[in-house]
Amino acid sequence: MIKKAIISLLIILIPILFYWVYTFNKIEAPEFVEVKFLKTDVVAFDNVEIEGGVTFFNPNYKDCKLLNTELKASANGVFLGQIIQLEKVEIPSNANFSIPLKMKLNPVQIGLTEGISSLVEKALNQNKSFKLFIEGYSRIKVGETIYKVPIKQDLLVNLD
């Protein structure tokens, strides 16, 4: 009778154990959620600072490490600058996380075309906003696997 009880218990516990091991050891790539710019400062006509962050979701039951983030910003098809984040960040398991970013635009030093100059001028004088296209990636390490998570988003940046 004890032998039957032990066998019955093993028949129930072994599948549960395999499911638990599979669930907690399954590794998936973190998911890009959004790029959000929270603060824009027009320091001078030749100095615009934009601060914000990139949000991801970590679907794993393991903590991750952000290795780096590289983004390119453009408006109307013209390259404005690169946003690089090299600071290593600890990422919580099974949660959303945000990476702070800061971008400085200097239209005079970058030597932007008249199209971008007029875009910034319109943003400063009229509607106080312009469209910004962000594209790039983040490299995130989960366990021993490194994922290159693509980032691509159109944003409306307000200069209020």
Beta pairing partners, 72? 82, 135
pLDDT tens sequence across 72-81: 888 777 787 7
Give the model's pLDDT for residue 135: 92
pTM of this prediction? 0.67
Could you tell me which CATH number the domain at 2-158 has?
A: 2.60.40.10
More confident residue, 6 or 58: 58
Query: For residue 109, how far is the Cα from the chain centroid?
Result: 27
Give the model's pLDDT for residue 84: 73
Per-domain boundaries in the chain: 2-158
Q: Residue 131 — pLDDT band, cuts 50, 70, 90?
A: confident
State whether the Cα torsion 16-17-22-24 is positive or negative.
positive
